Structure 1
């Protein structure tokens, strides 16, 4: 599954009200426990208030830290990801496992009756004698009178003896359907379980759900699916765990004027549905063995375009089908490339990709039927931006990579979700590079993935890549940057230290050995180790598991501190976990201190070897090592982590830092590779942020940017500058900071200009966009003037919905700047364009820009409209609205107050689909750096702790980040203000 860069934790556990029993009875014992729970809640709340209120009035917030270390809340670390409920085992018993499914579904998708009727036959294998068949079912009404179980004879292909059922019950906490039998189901035999059910086509973008769009002034309805991770059970009773693979034969009834599609090709002609003369049955071929979360089916009136051989199709609304051509161009090419890369043919006879008007994630890798948010699959030449085009290529490449890594071989349990998402998030770059080599995406990986995830992984409340999860809330909250970005980064590191030859062959061996099965990370480590031994890349005493367990089973990552001895040409390297706690970490020999196997690479001023990324030395989970005879003079700089292939930061002694800074300020600063220049900026400013490097040195590193024109170093700089801007924007001396950044931008602004030139390389385009955004945001006169003029020209253009004179790549900066500098007239004009456009990427740009206004009432109205039915803003886009408002210095407190004050309304609007709420919390709390905001957040979290669901970890991370921000202001504001004073005089 792909998540948007802006949407970092995709897919929540969802429930709807459909099919719930109305009313309940409570025993005396239950009354007693409810009373006891109420009293305990009062005590806990009192303790929370007692602890939180006074600690925020101190100069530091150390008392809050003490509270979080000794909290009465479940994990002992404050707002943990574990729901406040008794820990229950949500895994299915393994006495009965599925062999194959036959599924019939009739969705009624006309307005006012969004139900579906279904029947399923599940052929099961019995592995242990049992009197229970336990499977998953949620939010549906089972026809208990119809349920039956029969013994099955594989030889005769018939059902024989009827098994008597004595009880059917729902275990709602586990989302189990338990069928008890009087006859024992015997080990080694097969049985046919048959059920009928009615479900509800919800509008929470989960399970089997409904979506709609407008065409010819009519509402057109769609029935579609999103099952990952635990929502197939909302569409049909099933064994909804990834390891329980089975074959599926799917039958979908649809209105005659619509079409259906599923994972496999259609088989035979449509057949009438008895009693429903407007409906016909579509029957699909039996699938290969696959997990339930990969099953998919859609009923729509979409158009389709196909590749020349007819095996690859793209589907979209009639009015948007022209925007699917780019996906159709690159999709088959990437699929063919992956067949060569993995040395395994695509296992299915066809591939369909569908652009949906409403979709919670970026996309979903359903086998043979990939579903996308429109902005992730559709691209309109002349309207969409270069960034939109790369986004489409990225998501298509990601989902196609999953067809092997995730679909053919599936993690045995969600603990190893990262095996799916980390690999796809790395290999997607390799796939794009095969079809768009001029984009240099393998270089972009460093700033978009590795450096991007460092910020989250530097929090104590981060989590290991491989993490034990059970409850659906826990499963869904690990669809985050750790699983995706960190997973991809350590896989890239492994590709480099094993060599690509060993890496690729090891993957192929693993996929062949585990095809149509499930696996754990140790299975992959074994395959890679055997190939590494064969090619003599690893010593016989070392395994990939020994190395990689330190990266997957531990939280965080190391900073390697290099201290040179300039007399004997040696260097001492030490490692410790890097944390954003402002230098409070200590190097210790405690067994609790995490240590990693770190591949060490380096080059120097005279060597300038930025091509060799194989380890020159390993830090074998040890605190320190000494490198003797570096082969460089004491007057040369040395630089570690070549091409930033290792997942770690590097700090140096002051002398080496000064030599690097001197090199950067020379005319030949490009002797240091582009990636490593980006690394130096990102490392220096974040080491200073954490208190591991003085800010004077870190800011000295940035001074060379006055001569830099390449994308990667500037992207790294803007990410770090963004944090400084958030912290300093309300403080004394902010004018000096803005002046300094504008001074750095002066040369590169002249180089890129305010004209979107045809034929510019992708990275030049991206540099221009970033530079213009920052220049306009800081009031650069030429930038602001150009933006306002271009927007006004558009406003006065006849028929502005058709004729937009603004170059696509400049739209973002033009829209935002003009709306920020203008008032209601500009805002309303942009809103009307948002309502009118048919291009998803254009809607995205306008949604982002509408949050740029400085009119507070407009921002409040915008947030209101975001959670108002039929306002024109789709549920999938609500978190983008909050993110846009919160990124505005005027809007951040508005968004923060809004989500706290309108919490009940938000929950009612999204139901139990906490996906958007989680992302709203993330965006609305960004940049908190005052004690009073933190106090408000803590009070909110305390009051609603049982309602937070997957947002619990987000709250915990936000609180930790806010505490670090408060310390940062106390420790660094004066130092930075003085440095800026000296360097802008």
Structure 2
């Protein structure tokens, strides 16, 4: 240590990084000298160990020019500068500004940081690191406008809705009469509820006797609509005393083409005729677009629904059909009557009017267009199993609460789904699966989306969130059980293996933003409510719930959930309700820390933004560890007074108990000291199978031990933890908390990796780095590195064939590895792709066409088309135009975007323009035009250049702009810019932007001396650009009033990170 310390001092004295001032340099030298004293005198204890920590931080530092100084490294072999992955590390990690400087500065800061932390001694209860310090509550300072909430002087009890639709003729309006039965809780002359964009024709108020009997008309209230808050206030002639009433409203409304309210969709039937169908989507605040209602989730009521529709169509709803009558006013129409629903929230009401067919398996139904019935058989089978297994798991059968389950596949609706109680709606790719044309990924999507929506039947439908603040009680559980329920129903598919990489690690990426919201977050306006449906409500909440599932134990967890659902059934809930029943399930059991309760433990994760990194610093001489926590951010860590209650467990080389997920202890203070039996020459891994929602960082020596262990025997560490180590290490390096060389050395073991989850994590790292080095002088070194990782495993895989009995995760792995092989230029991969593509579309004379298996089609089609395959391109495009399978269409679009032939890409973009013609033969679904752009700029540099050529032509840009909208074009420009490397590509990008000048606000102005004559401060900044305006105005001009009120929704893209949104306004009084 003395010699190493002396050399390190010499390096920093002789070659101080340019931004290090003298005080920081001096602090570094002191740290090294302190470490030398500790070593020289063989001192032990906390003070010296903390100084050693500061000194070890320096061991990853570099000298001038990015040269790595081996004497400062813990092991000189780590810094083999002949190995390209290390020599180019700084360049590959380009987004971190001056990593040399920041490593050194951090070393100096680390000394002070460790000296500030109070390291707690071991508590008497063994290694449970729980302390009396209470959870640091995060005070919610969000200023929500409470006037958006209903006053609750009246509450609903029942809705009777009669609606007439002519969707069979593609008529996009409807008429309805809704009678709202309500109770007046406080004497009032105002009845306030929600309404949006409904044209009210008449209103009548009736008194309802508590003993039954006829309803008595008492008033025709006047009404006033607040279009900003979407309230309608009915004013009665006099005060209404406490009691029951019925308010009847007659009105008309309009249908939409997107997910809000009563929706219209179109599809082509067997005769190639366009047919229109109607479905609904009311979450979160959209029921008010179809009927006046108390549109808040806690205000539950029952519903009776009557739908008048053409006799050639059928109506379905949440409940079974009670009967069908002929419309007395028009015998070509039927009136479908449905049974009364249980108590439920307005956003869960649903109906559909279609000419579809129904497939049945007992009480489980799939409704689908007639030319897709075969594609629905898988969903019919797997859905029945999932619903039954979930009911058994929760000890609450679904059919004890609802008499039937119907799922409907809605054409041209994208991939979304909605959990309406008893009538779940899906975009077709999320419900239909045809093994002849769809891939294993499509099958996984269908299975997990069904599981997600069916989990909602308990979490969200039977028990709804008390307010949208607690939407995570719905979406978090559904996210967790979309994976767990598939393990119950289809254990062979191994989807649960993907939870940590697809859910936990995905949540980390967004939750590492400094401005991210906590799980519990208040919302009042419609925009605020909509913003809550994000990764925090879904992936983060699901991850935190899974952490507590493991902490409490599966038996206690299930017991608590069953009690929770039973107690709150047909009602709404808050986090406190959930915590109460989980607490009862663990009472009297040695599961939680002393004096702790579920509510406080859970609140430390739900009330605070972000998540922690658990720092594990080992004191090797003493067999001790110092555990500390701090908030992790994407570019740093953030000092915070908040303390998470972190449950931890660990495995080590001689005790690799990765399948025992029992909590070993809790870190409930900023730092604590832990005595462990881990030998000083063995590795340790915290957070077994990544069940905890936090990252883990180690001292450098432990990272080196882990890298050595993986190289020696990867299976010594669980595959979930191998994925965790890669993902944690990479993101710690991005935040400048770990040297990138640690990541690259750690990943060298991948040459022997055969499991998908670690490769999933590695793929994100490699993709990130490749985007930074492509088309630079460092690209070759990177490709050498990738080649070393994939060479052995590629030799075991087939690019173009599928074997019998392949597991789902094996198929995922094959696509990932063969994709990298073709991308990096493997001759075998490219030739096999090309040959398989030609064998399907252009077989030789006397040969029979052999279809590429769907499970290998993504790689074969994409890289087969990258070899100037104009003929195959046209044939694939023709298949796209003929296909009725929406998931297959998406895959075909992605393949077409890979073409290297510039003329092919240009013609593909031209079909978007031609598709707008009245009698066009080029048919795209609503979201597919945008998908074409995504496929092109994601397909490689050649198709991207072809796209840039098109966007450099002002006429072409204007034509495309008129069809796909500004948002799609702007998004394409941004993605092209993000994929631009090097001076040559930058010059090409600037040429394109110059050509687009004046067409898109996001395109920069071409500089001119004349600009100097204009006051630039009058122009809007270009860090945000608008993509769409939705404008709603209310005027009383007929009364002579010259005033108006309005609400405008401005959708925009952020081009440059900013905290200011600047738009124009004049003489407007802004209310909210």
TM-score bin, normalised by smaller chain: 0.7 to 0.9
Deviations 1:200-259 (A, max 9, x none): 122223210111111202111101111111111111221111111110101111211111
Q: Tell whether the 8 Å contact from 1:866 to 1:878 is kept in structure 2 after alignment.
A: yes
Alignment partners' CA distance in 1, 2:690 and 2:849: 45
Query: Residue 396 of structure 2 corresponds to which residue in structure 1?
Result: 344
Superposition pairs for residues 141-180 of structure 1, below 5 Å?
141-143=199-201, 146-165=202-221, 167-180=222-235
Query: Residue 524 of structure 2 corresponds to which residue in structure 1?
Result: 470
Query: Residue 66 of structure 2 corresponds to which residue in structure 1?
Result: none
Q: Tell whether the 8 Å contact from 2:203 to 2:220 is kept in structure 1 after alignment.
A: no
Q: Tell whether the 8 Å contact from 1:163 to 1:183 is kept in structure 2 after alignment.
A: no
Query: Residue 127 of structure 1 corresponds to which residue in structure 2?
Result: 185
Secondary structure of 2:865's counterpart equals helix
Query: Residue 164 of structure 2 corresponds to which residue in structure 1?
Result: 106
Residue 409 of structure 1 is aligned with which of 463, 470, 473?
463
Residue 632 of structure 2 is aligned with which of 578, 597, 615?
578
Secondary structure of 1:469's counterpart equals coil
Deviations 1:87-142 (A, max 9, x none): 67322221111110111111111446321111111101111111111222212211
Alignment partners' CA distance in 2, 1:437 and 1:564: 39
Residue 816 of structure 2 is aligned with which of 733, 746, 770?
770
Distance 1:59 1:423, change over 3 A: closer
1:896, distance to aligned residue in structure 2 (A):
14
Secondary structure of 2:471's counterpart equals helix
Aligned length: 862
1:86, distance to aligned residue in structure 2 (A):
11
Query: Residue 717 of structure 1 corresponds to which residue in structure 2?
Result: 762
1:392, distance to aligned residue in structure 2 (A):
0.9
Residue 225 of structure 1 is aligned with which of 273, 277, 280?
280
Q: Tell whether the 8 Å contact from 2:1025 to 2:1055 is kept in structure 1 after alignment.
A: no
Residue 791 of structure 1 is aligned with which of 814, 820, 837?
837
Secondary structure of 1:841's counterpart equals helix
1:888, distance to aligned residue in structure 2 (A):
3.5
Alignment partners' CA distance in 2, 1:60 and 1:866: 45
Distance 1:958 1:515, change over 3 A: farther
Q: Tell whether the 8 Å contact from 2:714 to 2:752 is kept in structure 1 after alignment.
A: no
Query: Residue 579 of structure 2 corresponds to which residue in structure 1?
Result: 525
Deviations 1:689-745 (A, max 9, x none): 221111111100010011111111111111221211222224331121122112211
Residue 626 of structure 1 is aligned with which of 651, 673, 676?
673
Superposition pairs for residues 18-29 of structure 1, below 5 Å?
none
Alignment partners' CA distance in 1, 2:786 and 2:860: 20
1:811, distance to aligned residue in structure 2 (A):
0.8
Alignment partners' CA distance in 1, 2:710 and 2:322: 65
Secondary structure of 1:380's counterpart equals coil
Distance 1:594 1:671, change over 3 A: same
- Would you say 1:393 and 2:447 are equivalent positions? yes
Name the TM-score, length of structure 1 as normaliser.
Answer: 0.82
Alignment partners' CA distance in 2, 1:557 and 1:919: 30
- Would you say 1:872 and 2:926 are equivalent positions? no
Secondary structure of 1:325's counterpart equals helix
Distance 1:365 1:538, change over 3 A: same
Query: Residue 891 of structure 2 corresponds to which residue in structure 1?
Result: 845
Alignment partners' CA distance in 2, 1:928 and 1:89: 48
Deviations 1:387-433 (A, max 9, x none): 21111110111111100000000001111111111101101212111
Q: Tell whether the 8 Å contact from 1:816 to 1:852 is kept in structure 2 after alignment.
A: yes
Query: Residue 660 of structure 2 corresponds to which residue in structure 1?
Result: 612
Alignment partners' CA distance in 1, 2:697 and 2:627: 10
Query: Residue 54 of structure 1 corresponds to which residue in structure 2?
Result: none
Distance 1:507 1:927, change over 3 A: farther
Q: Tell whether the 8 Å contact from 1:250 to 1:283 is kept in structure 2 after alignment.
A: yes
Query: Residue 29 of structure 1 corresponds to which residue in structure 2?
Result: none
Query: Residue 828 of structure 1 corresponds to which residue in structure 2?
Result: 874
Alignment partners' CA distance in 2, 1:784 and 1:208: 48
Alignment partners' CA distance in 1, 2:958 and 2:203: 39
Q: Tell whether the 8 Å contact from 1:135 to 1:238 is kept in structure 2 after alignment.
A: yes
Alignment partners' CA distance in 2, 1:253 and 1:295: 17
Distance 1:86 1:538, change over 3 A: closer
Alignment partners' CA distance in 1, 2:791 and 2:155: 66
Query: Residue 256 of structure 1 corresponds to which residue in structure 2?
Result: 311
Query: Residue 744 of structure 1 corresponds to which residue in structure 2?
Result: 789
Name the TM-score, length of structure 2 as normaliser.
Answer: 0.75
Query: Residue 382 of structure 2 corresponds to which residue in structure 1?
Result: 330
Alignment partners' CA distance in 1, 2:862 and 2:168: 39
Greater mean deviation of Cα atoms: 946-955 or 236-245: 946-955
Distance 1:829 1:593, change over 3 A: farther
- Would you say 1:448 and 2:530 are equivalent positions? no
Deviations 1:271-292 (A, max 9, x none): 1113222110000000001111
Q: Tell whether the 8 Å contact from 1:124 to 1:192 is kept in structure 2 after alignment.
A: yes
Alignment partners' CA distance in 1, 2:337 and 2:970: 39
Query: Residue 56 of structure 2 corresponds to which residue in structure 1?
Result: none
Structure 1, unaligned runs of 5 or more:
1-57, 62-81, 961-985
Q: Tell whether the 8 Å contact from 2:1023 to 2:1056 is kept in structure 1 after alignment.
A: no
- Would you say 1:642 and 2:642 are equivalent positions? no
Query: Residue 780 of structure 1 corresponds to which residue in structure 2?
Result: 826
Superposition pairs for residues 267-346 of structure 1, below 5 Å?
267-268=322-323, 270-307=324-361, 309=362, 311-346=363-398
Alignment partners' CA distance in 2, 1:777 and 1:562: 38
Query: Residue 548 of structure 2 corresponds to which residue in structure 1?
Result: 494
Superposition pairs for residues 962-981 of structure 1, below 5 Å?
none
Greater mean deviation of Cα atoms: 725-734 or 572-581: 725-734
Secondary structure of 1:875's counterpart equals coil
Q: Tell whether the 8 Å contact from 2:1024 to 2:1056 is kept in structure 1 after alignment.
A: no
Query: Residue 408 of structure 2 corresponds to which residue in structure 1?
Result: 354
1:879, distance to aligned residue in structure 2 (A):
4.8
Tell which has more relative contact order, 1 or 2 (C-alpha 8 A, sep 6+). Answer: 1
Query: Residue 67 of structure 1 corresponds to which residue in structure 2?
Result: none
Q: Tell whether the 8 Å contact from 2:775 to 2:981 is kept in structure 1 after alignment.
A: no
Distance 1:907 1:368, change over 3 A: farther
1:494, distance to aligned residue in structure 2 (A):
0.6
1:563, distance to aligned residue in structure 2 (A):
1.0
Alignment partners' CA distance in 1, 2:507 and 2:950: 27
Residue 186 of structure 1 is aligned with which of 241, 265, 271?
241
Query: Residue 729 of structure 1 corresponds to which residue in structure 2?
Result: 774
Query: Residue 147 of structure 2 corresponds to which residue in structure 1?
Result: 89
Superposition pairs for residues 880-899 of structure 1, below 5 Å?
880-890=931-941
Distance 1:928 1:299, change over 3 A: farther
Distance 1:945 1:86, change over 3 A: farther
Deviations 1:802-860 (A, max 9, x none): 97610110111112112333354443322211111222221121122222234567556
Distance 1:727 1:186, change over 3 A: farther
1:873, distance to aligned residue in structure 2 (A):
2.2
Deviations 1:289-342 (A, max 9, x none): 1111111111111111101x3x11111111111111111111111111111111
- Would you say 1:243 and 2:243 are equivalent positions? no
Query: Residue 79 of structure 1 corresponds to which residue in structure 2?
Result: none
Secondary structure of 2:545's counterpart equals helix
Query: Residue 651 of structure 1 corresponds to which residue in structure 2?
Result: 697
Q: Tell whether the 8 Å contact from 1:354 to 1:371 is kept in structure 2 after alignment.
A: yes
- Would you say 1:511 and 2:565 are equivalent positions? yes
Structure 2, unaligned runs of 5 or more:
1-95, 100-140, 994-1001, 1005-1019, 1031-1047, 1060-1072
Alignment partners' CA distance in 1, 2:790 and 2:823: 12
Q: Tell whether the 8 Å contact from 2:150 to 2:192 is kept in structure 1 after alignment.
A: yes
